[in-house]
A and B are shown apart, each in its own frame.
Chain A
Amino acid sequence: MKRSGSDSRPRAVAVALAGLLLGLIAWQFAGQRDPVLLATPVRSFEALAAMVSDGTLPAALLDTGLLFLVGLAAAIVGGVGYGLVLSRSKVLRGSTGWLVFAFQSVPIVALAPLILAAFGFGFGAKTLVVFLSAVFPILINTVEGARHAPKTLLEVARVHRSGEWPLWRDVLIPHTLPYAMSGIRQGIAMAFVGTFIAEFFLQATGIGGLLLSASARFDSATVLGLTVLVSVIAALLMGLGRRLEKAFAPWREGSTE
Protein backbone atom coordinates (compact mmCIF):
# COMPACT_ATOMS: atom_id res chain seq x y z
CA MET A 1 0.00 0.00 0.00
CA LYS A 2 2.12 2.82 -1.24
CA ARG A 3 0.90 6.27 -1.89
CA SER A 4 -0.18 6.59 -5.45
CA GLY A 5 2.48 9.12 -6.35
CA SER A 6 4.46 6.29 -7.89
CA ASP A 7 2.20 5.69 -10.90
CA SER A 8 4.06 6.56 -14.05
CA ARG A 9 2.39 8.65 -16.70
CA PRO A 10 2.70 6.32 -19.76
CA ARG A 11 1.36 3.43 -17.74
CA ALA A 12 -1.60 5.49 -16.54
CA VAL A 13 -2.48 6.42 -20.10
CA ALA A 14 -2.13 2.80 -21.25
CA VAL A 15 -4.42 1.52 -18.50
CA ALA A 16 -6.95 4.28 -19.21
CA LEU A 17 -6.96 3.32 -22.89
CA ALA A 18 -7.39 -0.34 -21.90
CA GLY A 19 -10.35 0.74 -19.77
CA LEU A 20 -11.90 2.54 -22.73
CA LEU A 21 -11.35 -0.48 -24.95
CA LEU A 22 -12.91 -2.82 -22.37
CA GLY A 23 -15.89 -0.50 -22.12
CA LEU A 24 -16.31 -0.41 -25.89
CA ILE A 25 -16.18 -4.21 -26.11
CA ALA A 26 -18.71 -4.58 -23.30
CA TRP A 27 -20.93 -1.97 -24.95
CA GLN A 28 -20.72 -3.81 -28.29
CA PHE A 29 -21.70 -7.12 -26.68
CA ALA A 30 -24.52 -5.58 -24.66
CA GLY A 31 -25.73 -3.77 -27.76
CA GLN A 32 -25.86 -6.98 -29.75
CA ARG A 33 -27.92 -8.68 -27.06
CA ASP A 34 -30.41 -5.84 -26.75
CA PRO A 35 -30.34 -3.88 -30.00
CA VAL A 36 -33.45 -1.80 -29.30
CA LEU A 37 -32.47 -0.24 -25.99
CA LEU A 38 -28.74 -0.18 -26.46
CA ALA A 39 -27.31 0.46 -29.90
CA THR A 40 -23.82 -0.92 -30.47
CA PRO A 41 -20.90 1.52 -30.67
CA VAL A 42 -20.58 0.69 -34.36
CA ARG A 43 -24.19 1.71 -35.00
CA SER A 44 -23.84 4.85 -32.87
CA PHE A 45 -20.75 5.80 -34.81
CA GLU A 46 -22.58 5.21 -38.10
CA ALA A 47 -25.45 7.37 -36.89
CA LEU A 48 -23.05 10.21 -36.05
CA ALA A 49 -21.25 9.76 -39.38
CA ALA A 50 -24.57 9.95 -41.24
CA MET A 51 -25.42 13.21 -39.43
CA VAL A 52 -22.01 14.60 -40.33
CA SER A 53 -22.40 13.76 -44.00
CA ASP A 54 -25.87 15.29 -44.30
CA GLY A 55 -24.69 18.38 -42.46
CA THR A 56 -27.06 18.30 -39.47
CA LEU A 57 -24.36 17.61 -36.88
CA PRO A 58 -21.94 20.35 -37.99
CA ALA A 59 -24.81 22.83 -38.16
CA ALA A 60 -26.00 21.79 -34.69
CA LEU A 61 -22.47 22.04 -33.29
CA LEU A 62 -22.18 25.53 -34.74
CA ASP A 63 -25.54 26.53 -33.20
CA THR A 64 -24.62 25.17 -29.80
CA GLY A 65 -21.11 26.58 -29.96
CA LEU A 66 -22.31 30.06 -30.85
CA LEU A 67 -24.87 30.11 -28.04
CA PHE A 68 -22.25 28.84 -25.57
CA LEU A 69 -19.62 31.37 -26.63
CA VAL A 70 -21.91 34.42 -26.69
CA GLY A 71 -23.43 33.54 -23.32
CA LEU A 72 -20.04 32.83 -21.78
CA ALA A 73 -18.54 36.04 -23.18
CA ALA A 74 -21.42 38.06 -21.75
CA ALA A 75 -20.97 36.32 -18.39
CA ILE A 76 -17.23 37.02 -18.35
CA VAL A 77 -17.68 40.68 -19.24
CA GLY A 78 -20.54 41.12 -16.77
CA GLY A 79 -19.03 39.00 -13.99
CA VAL A 80 -15.47 40.35 -14.08
CA GLY A 81 -16.68 43.87 -14.77
CA TYR A 82 -19.19 44.07 -11.96
CA GLY A 83 -16.83 42.18 -9.68
CA LEU A 84 -14.16 44.86 -10.16
CA VAL A 85 -16.71 47.62 -9.68
CA LEU A 86 -17.82 45.97 -6.44
CA SER A 87 -14.22 45.83 -5.26
CA ARG A 88 -13.87 49.61 -5.69
CA SER A 89 -17.20 50.66 -4.28
CA LYS A 90 -17.81 49.98 -0.65
CA VAL A 91 -21.39 51.19 -0.91
CA LEU A 92 -22.29 48.86 -3.75
CA ARG A 93 -20.48 45.96 -2.13
CA GLY A 94 -22.26 46.43 1.16
CA SER A 95 -25.66 46.84 -0.42
CA THR A 96 -25.64 44.34 -3.30
CA GLY A 97 -22.91 41.87 -2.37
CA TRP A 98 -25.23 39.61 -0.41
CA LEU A 99 -27.83 39.72 -3.18
CA VAL A 100 -25.27 38.09 -5.46
CA PHE A 101 -25.09 35.13 -3.12
CA ALA A 102 -28.87 34.98 -2.89
CA PHE A 103 -29.26 34.97 -6.68
CA GLN A 104 -26.54 32.39 -7.02
CA SER A 105 -28.63 29.86 -5.15
CA VAL A 106 -31.57 30.11 -7.56
CA PRO A 107 -31.47 27.06 -9.84
CA ILE A 108 -31.49 28.33 -13.43
CA VAL A 109 -33.17 25.15 -14.68
CA ALA A 110 -36.22 25.99 -12.60
CA LEU A 111 -36.26 29.54 -13.96
CA ALA A 112 -36.32 28.29 -17.56
CA PRO A 113 -40.14 28.05 -17.88
CA LEU A 114 -40.49 31.60 -16.55
CA ILE A 115 -37.83 32.93 -18.93
CA LEU A 116 -39.59 31.12 -21.77
CA ALA A 117 -42.93 32.69 -20.85
CA ALA A 118 -41.54 36.19 -20.43
CA PHE A 119 -38.87 36.48 -23.11
CA GLY A 120 -39.77 33.78 -25.62
CA PHE A 121 -37.30 31.39 -27.19
CA GLY A 122 -35.17 33.61 -29.41
CA PHE A 123 -31.41 33.79 -29.33
CA GLY A 124 -31.55 36.58 -26.74
CA ALA A 125 -33.59 34.54 -24.28
CA LYS A 126 -31.33 31.51 -24.75
CA THR A 127 -28.25 33.67 -24.26
CA LEU A 128 -29.81 35.02 -21.07
CA VAL A 129 -30.08 31.47 -19.72
CA VAL A 130 -26.41 30.74 -20.50
CA PHE A 131 -25.37 34.10 -19.04
CA LEU A 132 -27.31 33.56 -15.80
CA SER A 133 -25.86 30.07 -15.43
CA ALA A 134 -22.27 31.22 -15.77
CA VAL A 135 -22.11 34.73 -14.35
CA PHE A 136 -22.25 34.04 -10.61
CA PRO A 137 -19.16 31.88 -10.15
CA ILE A 138 -17.19 34.40 -12.24
CA LEU A 139 -18.52 37.36 -10.27
CA ILE A 140 -17.94 35.77 -6.87
CA ASN A 141 -14.39 34.67 -7.65
CA THR A 142 -13.56 38.11 -9.04
CA VAL A 143 -14.76 39.82 -5.87
CA GLU A 144 -12.78 37.31 -3.86
CA GLY A 145 -9.69 38.08 -5.95
CA ALA A 146 -10.05 41.83 -5.67
CA ARG A 147 -10.11 41.40 -1.91
CA HIS A 148 -6.65 39.87 -2.21
CA ALA A 149 -5.22 42.91 -3.97
CA PRO A 150 -2.52 44.09 -1.56
CA LYS A 151 -3.79 46.95 0.61
CA THR A 152 -0.36 48.56 0.75
CA LEU A 153 -0.20 48.89 -3.02
CA LEU A 154 -3.67 50.42 -3.10
CA GLU A 155 -2.68 52.88 -0.37
CA VAL A 156 0.60 53.76 -2.07
CA ALA A 157 -1.32 54.38 -5.28
CA ARG A 158 -3.70 56.65 -3.42
CA VAL A 159 -0.94 58.53 -1.69
CA HIS A 160 0.63 59.19 -5.07
CA ARG A 161 -2.72 60.41 -6.35
CA SER A 162 -3.03 57.67 -8.90
CA GLY A 163 -5.98 58.07 -11.24
CA GLU A 164 -8.71 55.47 -11.26
CA TRP A 165 -7.65 53.92 -14.57
CA PRO A 166 -3.91 53.45 -13.76
CA LEU A 167 -4.98 51.96 -10.44
CA TRP A 168 -7.10 49.37 -12.21
CA ARG A 169 -4.48 48.69 -14.86
CA ASP A 170 -1.48 48.31 -12.58
CA VAL A 171 -2.87 46.99 -9.32
CA LEU A 172 -6.42 45.79 -9.39
CA ILE A 173 -6.63 43.84 -12.64
CA PRO A 174 -3.28 42.00 -12.40
CA HIS A 175 -4.03 40.91 -8.84
CA THR A 176 -7.60 39.91 -9.58
CA LEU A 177 -7.04 38.05 -12.82
CA PRO A 178 -5.85 34.71 -11.36
CA TYR A 179 -8.96 34.55 -9.18
CA ALA A 180 -11.21 35.61 -12.01
CA MET A 181 -9.69 32.75 -14.00
CA SER A 182 -10.85 30.25 -11.36
CA GLY A 183 -14.28 31.78 -11.74
CA ILE A 184 -14.07 31.53 -15.51
CA ARG A 185 -13.10 27.85 -15.23
CA GLN A 186 -16.26 27.22 -13.22
CA GLY A 187 -18.15 29.54 -15.55
CA ILE A 188 -17.15 27.47 -18.58
CA ALA A 189 -18.65 24.35 -17.01
CA MET A 190 -21.79 26.21 -15.93
CA ALA A 191 -22.22 27.86 -19.34
CA PHE A 192 -22.14 24.41 -20.92
CA VAL A 193 -24.91 23.30 -18.58
CA GLY A 194 -26.79 26.51 -19.34
CA THR A 195 -26.50 25.87 -23.08
CA PHE A 196 -28.31 22.57 -22.62
CA ILE A 197 -30.93 24.14 -20.38
CA ALA A 198 -31.61 26.67 -23.15
CA GLU A 199 -31.70 24.05 -25.88
CA PHE A 200 -33.83 21.61 -23.92
CA PHE A 201 -36.36 23.96 -22.37
CA LEU A 202 -36.53 27.08 -24.53
CA GLN A 203 -36.11 25.97 -28.11
CA ALA A 204 -34.92 22.58 -29.34
CA THR A 205 -31.94 23.69 -31.41
CA GLY A 206 -28.34 22.54 -31.69
CA ILE A 207 -27.04 19.39 -30.07
CA GLY A 208 -29.73 19.54 -27.39
CA GLY A 209 -32.42 19.66 -30.05
CA LEU A 210 -30.92 16.68 -31.89
CA LEU A 211 -30.80 14.75 -28.60
CA LEU A 212 -34.44 15.49 -27.82
CA SER A 213 -35.79 14.57 -31.23
CA ALA A 214 -33.73 11.37 -31.38
CA SER A 215 -34.93 10.45 -27.89
CA ALA A 216 -38.54 11.01 -28.91
CA ARG A 217 -37.98 8.63 -31.85
CA PHE A 218 -36.41 6.05 -29.50
CA ASP A 219 -33.38 6.23 -31.78
CA SER A 220 -30.93 4.90 -29.23
CA ALA A 221 -28.01 4.82 -31.66
CA THR A 222 -28.15 8.56 -32.26
CA VAL A 223 -28.85 9.41 -28.61
CA LEU A 224 -25.93 7.30 -27.37
CA GLY A 225 -23.57 8.69 -29.99
CA LEU A 226 -24.53 12.27 -29.15
CA THR A 227 -24.35 11.64 -25.40
CA VAL A 228 -20.80 10.32 -25.73
CA LEU A 229 -19.93 13.27 -27.97
CA VAL A 230 -21.29 15.69 -25.35
CA SER A 231 -19.28 14.09 -22.58
CA VAL A 232 -16.09 14.27 -24.67
CA ILE A 233 -16.72 17.96 -25.41
CA ALA A 234 -17.45 18.59 -21.73
CA ALA A 235 -14.23 16.87 -20.65
CA LEU A 236 -12.25 18.89 -23.21
CA LEU A 237 -13.81 22.14 -21.97
CA MET A 238 -12.96 21.20 -18.37
CA GLY A 239 -9.36 20.53 -19.45
CA LEU A 240 -9.22 23.86 -21.26
CA GLY A 241 -10.56 25.68 -18.19
CA ARG A 242 -8.03 24.04 -15.91
CA ARG A 243 -5.21 24.95 -18.30
CA LEU A 244 -6.41 28.55 -18.39
CA GLU A 245 -6.52 28.68 -14.60
CA LYS A 246 -3.04 27.17 -14.33
CA ALA A 247 -1.61 29.63 -16.85
CA PHE A 248 -2.49 32.50 -14.53
CA ALA A 249 -1.77 30.72 -11.26
CA PRO A 250 1.86 31.95 -10.99
CA TRP A 251 0.51 35.50 -10.72
CA ARG A 252 -1.43 34.42 -7.69
CA GLU A 253 1.69 33.13 -5.96
CA GLY A 254 3.38 36.49 -6.51
CA SER A 255 0.50 38.39 -4.98
CA THR A 256 0.52 36.74 -1.57
CA GLU A 257 1.90 39.14 0.96
Chain B
Amino acid sequence: MTVLTVDAPVRKDVIGKVVAVVVLLGVWQVAGSAFLPDYLPTPAGVLTELVPTLTSAAFLTALGETVVAVVLGLVLGCVPGTAAGLLIGRVTWLRQLTTPYISGLYAMPMLAIVPMATIWFGYDDTTRVIVIALSAFLPCAVSTADGARSLPANLGDVARVLNVPRGRFVLDFVLPSALPFAVAGLHIAVGRALVGAAAVEFLANIDGLGTFILTSARSFAQNQAFVGVAVLALLGVLARAGTERLIRRVAPWQQTHQD
Protein backbone atom coordinates (compact mmCIF):
# COMPACT_ATOMS: atom_id res chain seq x y z
CA MET B 1 0.00 0.00 0.00
CA THR B 2 2.86 2.37 0.69
CA VAL B 3 3.71 4.54 -2.25
CA LEU B 4 7.30 5.62 -2.65
CA THR B 5 6.93 8.05 -5.51
CA VAL B 6 6.04 11.57 -4.54
CA ASP B 7 4.82 13.46 -7.56
CA ALA B 8 3.08 10.79 -9.62
CA PRO B 9 -0.01 10.26 -7.38
CA VAL B 10 -0.89 13.93 -7.47
CA ARG B 11 -1.05 14.08 -11.23
CA LYS B 12 -2.88 10.75 -11.38
CA ASP B 13 -5.38 12.10 -8.86
CA VAL B 14 -6.18 15.10 -11.00
CA ILE B 15 -6.67 12.91 -14.05
CA GLY B 16 -8.81 10.54 -12.00
CA LYS B 17 -10.94 13.37 -10.70
CA VAL B 18 -11.46 14.82 -14.13
CA VAL B 19 -12.34 11.39 -15.51
CA ALA B 20 -14.78 10.79 -12.65
CA VAL B 21 -16.51 14.12 -13.25
CA VAL B 22 -16.66 13.60 -17.01
CA VAL B 23 -18.03 10.07 -16.63
CA LEU B 24 -20.56 11.20 -14.04
CA LEU B 25 -21.77 14.17 -16.06
CA GLY B 26 -21.79 12.11 -19.25
CA VAL B 27 -23.86 9.30 -17.79
CA TRP B 28 -26.19 11.84 -16.19
CA GLN B 29 -26.60 13.77 -19.45
CA VAL B 30 -27.16 10.71 -21.62
CA ALA B 31 -29.41 8.87 -19.18
CA GLY B 32 -31.38 12.01 -18.39
CA SER B 33 -32.07 12.94 -22.00
CA ALA B 34 -32.57 9.34 -23.17
CA PHE B 35 -34.91 7.98 -20.50
CA LEU B 36 -36.45 10.91 -18.71
CA PRO B 37 -36.35 13.99 -20.93
CA ASP B 38 -38.25 16.87 -19.31
CA TYR B 39 -38.34 15.03 -15.99
CA LEU B 40 -34.72 15.03 -14.94
CA PRO B 41 -32.33 17.98 -14.92
CA THR B 42 -29.33 17.49 -17.20
CA PRO B 43 -25.86 19.03 -16.91
CA ALA B 44 -26.23 20.86 -20.23
CA GLY B 45 -29.65 22.13 -19.23
CA VAL B 46 -28.43 23.28 -15.84
CA LEU B 47 -25.54 25.09 -17.46
CA THR B 48 -27.76 27.02 -19.85
CA GLU B 49 -30.23 27.84 -17.07
CA LEU B 50 -27.55 28.80 -14.56
CA VAL B 51 -27.08 32.49 -15.30
CA PRO B 52 -30.71 33.30 -16.22
CA THR B 53 -31.90 31.66 -13.01
CA LEU B 54 -29.31 33.23 -10.75
CA THR B 55 -30.14 36.69 -12.06
CA SER B 56 -33.92 36.31 -12.20
CA ALA B 57 -35.93 38.46 -9.82
CA ALA B 58 -38.01 35.51 -8.62
CA PHE B 59 -34.91 33.61 -7.56
CA LEU B 60 -33.27 36.56 -5.83
CA THR B 61 -36.39 37.43 -3.81
CA ALA B 62 -36.79 33.78 -2.83
CA LEU B 63 -33.15 33.57 -1.78
CA GLY B 64 -33.45 36.76 0.25
CA GLU B 65 -36.59 35.53 2.02
CA THR B 66 -34.97 32.26 3.03
CA VAL B 67 -31.66 33.76 4.11
CA VAL B 68 -33.35 36.40 6.27
CA ALA B 69 -35.57 33.76 7.89
CA VAL B 70 -32.61 31.44 8.52
CA VAL B 71 -30.48 34.18 10.08
CA LEU B 72 -33.37 35.34 12.25
CA GLY B 73 -34.19 31.78 13.25
CA LEU B 74 -30.55 31.05 14.07
CA VAL B 75 -30.33 34.08 16.35
CA LEU B 76 -33.66 33.29 18.03
CA GLY B 77 -32.66 29.66 18.47
CA CYS B 78 -28.97 29.71 19.26
CA VAL B 79 -28.86 32.53 21.83
CA PRO B 80 -31.44 30.97 24.18
CA GLY B 81 -30.16 27.51 23.21
CA THR B 82 -26.64 28.30 24.37
CA ALA B 83 -27.91 29.90 27.56
CA ALA B 84 -30.14 26.91 28.26
CA GLY B 85 -27.21 24.60 27.58
CA LEU B 86 -25.05 26.39 30.15
CA LEU B 87 -27.87 26.10 32.70
CA ILE B 88 -28.73 22.46 32.17
CA GLY B 89 -25.06 21.57 31.93
CA ARG B 90 -24.30 22.98 35.38
CA VAL B 91 -27.55 22.51 37.32
CA THR B 92 -28.01 18.79 37.88
CA TRP B 93 -31.67 18.70 38.85
CA LEU B 94 -32.63 20.94 35.95
CA ARG B 95 -30.80 18.65 33.54
CA GLN B 96 -32.54 15.58 34.92
CA LEU B 97 -35.90 17.33 34.80
CA THR B 98 -35.54 18.34 31.17
CA THR B 99 -33.76 15.21 29.87
CA PRO B 100 -36.90 13.55 28.46
CA TYR B 101 -37.83 16.68 26.53
CA ILE B 102 -34.39 17.57 25.26
CA SER B 103 -33.47 14.06 24.14
CA GLY B 104 -36.92 13.40 22.69
CA LEU B 105 -36.92 16.61 20.68
CA TYR B 106 -33.25 16.32 19.71
CA ALA B 107 -33.75 12.86 18.26
CA MET B 108 -36.90 13.84 16.43
CA PRO B 109 -36.80 14.90 12.77
CA MET B 110 -37.81 18.57 12.85
CA LEU B 111 -39.90 17.89 9.77
CA ALA B 112 -42.35 15.95 11.90
CA ILE B 113 -43.00 19.05 13.99
CA VAL B 114 -44.15 21.14 11.03
CA PRO B 115 -47.76 19.79 10.93
CA MET B 116 -48.21 20.80 14.57
CA ALA B 117 -46.51 24.15 14.00
CA THR B 118 -48.81 25.00 11.09
CA ILE B 119 -51.85 24.42 13.32
CA TRP B 120 -50.42 26.63 16.05
CA PHE B 121 -48.85 29.43 14.06
CA GLY B 122 -50.58 29.30 10.70
CA TYR B 123 -49.19 29.01 7.20
CA ASP B 124 -46.93 32.03 7.30
CA ASP B 125 -43.54 33.40 8.15
CA THR B 126 -43.97 32.92 11.91
CA THR B 127 -44.09 29.15 11.47
CA ARG B 128 -40.94 29.20 9.37
CA VAL B 129 -38.94 31.25 11.86
CA ILE B 130 -40.17 29.17 14.80
CA VAL B 131 -39.32 25.84 13.18
CA ILE B 132 -35.88 27.14 12.17
CA ALA B 133 -35.31 28.50 15.67
CA LEU B 134 -36.31 25.18 17.23
CA SER B 135 -34.05 23.23 14.85
CA ALA B 136 -31.21 25.53 15.93
CA PHE B 137 -32.07 25.63 19.64
CA LEU B 138 -31.67 21.90 20.26
CA PRO B 139 -28.14 21.25 18.93
CA CYS B 140 -26.93 24.47 20.59
CA ALA B 141 -28.42 23.47 23.95
CA VAL B 142 -27.25 19.85 23.81
CA SER B 143 -23.72 20.67 22.71
CA THR B 144 -23.24 23.57 25.14
CA ALA B 145 -24.56 21.42 27.99
CA ASP B 146 -21.95 18.79 27.12
CA GLY B 147 -19.32 21.52 27.20
CA ALA B 148 -20.45 22.95 30.51
CA ARG B 149 -20.34 19.45 32.00
CA SER B 150 -16.92 18.76 30.60
CA LEU B 151 -15.24 21.14 33.02
CA PRO B 152 -12.66 18.93 34.77
CA ALA B 153 -13.63 18.05 38.32
CA ASN B 154 -10.33 19.25 39.80
CA LEU B 155 -10.86 22.72 38.32
CA GLY B 156 -14.23 22.85 40.05
CA ASP B 157 -12.54 21.81 43.28
CA VAL B 158 -9.88 24.49 42.88
CA ALA B 159 -12.59 27.11 42.39
CA ARG B 160 -14.32 25.94 45.53
CA VAL B 161 -11.17 25.90 47.63
CA LEU B 162 -10.26 29.38 46.46
CA ASN B 163 -13.78 30.58 47.17
CA VAL B 164 -14.25 31.91 43.66
CA PRO B 165 -17.51 33.85 43.56
CA ARG B 166 -20.26 32.27 41.48
CA GLY B 167 -20.24 34.93 38.79
CA ARG B 168 -16.49 34.68 38.28
CA PHE B 169 -16.73 30.90 38.31
CA VAL B 170 -19.14 30.97 35.38
CA LEU B 171 -17.11 33.58 33.50
CA ASP B 172 -13.61 32.19 34.10
CA PHE B 173 -14.17 28.45 34.42
CA VAL B 174 -17.40 27.28 32.81
CA LEU B 175 -17.51 29.58 29.81
CA PRO B 176 -14.03 28.83 28.45
CA SER B 177 -14.60 25.09 28.61
CA ALA B 178 -18.07 25.38 27.10
CA LEU B 179 -17.21 27.83 24.32
CA PRO B 180 -15.82 25.35 21.75
CA PHE B 181 -18.82 23.12 22.35
CA ALA B 182 -21.15 26.07 21.88
CA VAL B 183 -19.56 26.81 18.51
CA ALA B 184 -19.79 23.12 17.59
CA GLY B 185 -23.50 23.33 18.42
CA LEU B 186 -23.80 26.33 16.12
CA HIS B 187 -22.02 24.31 13.43
CA ILE B 188 -24.72 21.64 13.53
CA ALA B 189 -27.48 24.22 13.95
CA VAL B 190 -26.61 26.06 10.73
CA GLY B 191 -27.00 22.94 8.62
CA ARG B 192 -30.25 21.95 10.29
CA ALA B 193 -31.64 25.48 9.98
CA LEU B 194 -31.15 25.56 6.19
CA VAL B 195 -32.73 22.14 5.71
CA GLY B 196 -35.52 23.06 8.12
CA ALA B 197 -36.22 26.23 6.16
CA ALA B 198 -36.63 24.36 2.89
CA ALA B 199 -38.87 21.76 4.54
CA VAL B 200 -41.20 24.32 6.13
CA GLU B 201 -41.43 26.24 2.89
CA PHE B 202 -42.49 23.08 1.06
CA LEU B 203 -45.08 22.06 3.61
CA ALA B 204 -46.55 25.43 4.52
CA ASN B 205 -46.10 26.95 1.07
CA ILE B 206 -44.20 30.02 2.30
CA ASP B 207 -42.27 32.08 -0.28
CA GLY B 208 -38.58 31.23 -0.30
CA LEU B 209 -35.90 29.10 -1.89
CA GLY B 210 -37.81 25.92 -1.04
CA THR B 211 -40.96 27.06 -2.80
CA PHE B 212 -38.85 28.28 -5.71
CA ILE B 213 -37.48 24.74 -6.11
CA LEU B 214 -40.92 23.23 -5.68
CA THR B 215 -42.74 25.44 -8.19
CA SER B 216 -39.91 25.09 -10.72
CA ALA B 217 -40.00 21.30 -10.41
CA ARG B 218 -43.78 21.28 -10.77
CA SER B 219 -43.75 23.45 -13.86
CA PHE B 220 -41.18 21.19 -15.56
CA ALA B 221 -38.34 23.67 -15.14
CA GLN B 222 -36.16 20.91 -13.65
CA ASN B 223 -32.91 22.61 -14.51
CA GLN B 224 -34.00 25.78 -12.79
CA ALA B 225 -35.06 23.72 -9.76
CA PHE B 226 -31.65 22.08 -9.70
CA VAL B 227 -29.92 25.45 -9.66
CA GLY B 228 -31.98 26.22 -6.56
CA VAL B 229 -30.93 22.95 -4.90
CA ALA B 230 -27.29 23.64 -5.73
CA VAL B 231 -27.47 27.14 -4.24
CA LEU B 232 -29.02 25.72 -1.08
CA ALA B 233 -26.23 23.14 -0.86
CA LEU B 234 -23.62 25.81 -1.46
CA LEU B 235 -25.09 27.99 1.31
CA GLY B 236 -24.78 25.02 3.66
CA VAL B 237 -21.18 24.35 2.68
CA LEU B 238 -20.20 28.02 3.07
CA ALA B 239 -21.94 28.36 6.43
CA ARG B 240 -20.34 25.20 7.76
CA ALA B 241 -16.93 26.22 6.52
CA GLY B 242 -17.45 29.50 8.38
CA THR B 243 -18.34 27.85 11.68
CA GLU B 244 -15.48 25.39 11.24
CA ARG B 245 -13.03 28.28 10.98
CA LEU B 246 -14.64 29.80 14.04
CA ILE B 247 -14.14 26.54 15.95
CA ARG B 248 -10.50 26.41 14.94
CA ARG B 249 -10.05 29.96 16.11
CA VAL B 250 -11.71 29.66 19.54
CA ALA B 251 -10.51 26.12 20.19
CA PRO B 252 -7.75 24.83 17.95
CA TRP B 253 -7.69 21.54 19.88
CA GLN B 254 -11.34 20.81 19.26
CA GLN B 255 -12.49 18.46 16.52
CA THR B 256 -15.70 19.44 14.81
CA HIS B 257 -18.73 17.38 15.68
CA GLN B 258 -19.98 15.11 13.00
CA ASP B 259 -23.67 15.07 12.43
Partners in one complex: yes
Which residues in A have some Cβ–Cβ distance to B below 8 Å? 1-7, 11-12, 15-16, 18-20, 22-23, 37-38, 90-91, 94-96, 98-99, 105-107, 109-114, 116-118, 137, 151, 154-155, 158, 186, 189, 192-193, 196-197, 200-201, 208, 211-212, 214-215, 218, 220, 223-224, 227, 230-232, 234-235, 237-238
> Could you tell me if A110 and B228 are in contact, using CB atoms closer than 8 angstroms?
yes
Identify 22 residue pairs between A and B in the complex whose beta-carbon atoms are under 8 Å apart, listed by A's number.
A1-B156, A2-B156, A3-B156, A6-B92, A12-B99, A15-B96, A19-B100, A19-B101, A95-B16, A95-B17, A107-B232, A109-B195, A113-B216, A113-B218, A118-B40, A151-B2, A155-B1, A197-B111, A215-B118, A227-B113, A227-B116, A231-B108
Contact B17 A94 (CB under 8 A): yes
Are the C-beta atoms of A211 and B101 separated by less than 8 Å?
A: no
Interface membership of chain B positions 159-175, coded 1 if the CB is closer than 8 angstroms to chain A and 0 otherwise = 11000001001000000
Q: A107-B232, A110-B198 are in contact. Are A4 and B116 (CB under 8 A)?
A: no
Residues of the B chain whose Cβ atoms lie less than 8 Å from the Cβ of A7: 92, 96
- B40, B100, B199: the one contacting A20 at CB < 8 Å is B100
Q: How far is the CA of A232 from the CA of B106 in the complex (A)?
A: 11
**Which residues in B have their C-beta under 8 angstroms from that of A38?**
120
Per DSSP, chain B at the interface is helix
Can you name 14 extra interface pairs (CB under 8 A) apart from A99-B24, A112-B202?
A3-B151, A3-B156, A7-B96, A19-B100, A90-B3, A91-B12, A106-B230, A107-B233, A114-B222, A116-B217, A193-B109, A208-B112, A220-B116, A238-B103
Q: Is the CB of A1 within 8 A of B16?
A: no
Which of A1, A11, A111, A218 is in CB contact (< 8 Å) with B119? A218
Chain B: number of interface residues, binned into ranges: 35 or more
Contact between A15 and B237, CB atoms less than 8 A apart: no
Q: B233 — which chain A residues lie within 8 A by C-beta?
A: 105-107, 110
Note all chain B residues with C-beta closer than 8 A to A106: 229-230, 233
Within 8 Å by CB of B20, from A99, A105, A196, A200, lies: A99
Most A Cβ at <10 Å: residue of B93, B104, B169, B210? B104
Question: Of A91, A105, A151, which contacts B1 at CB under 8 A?
Answer: A151
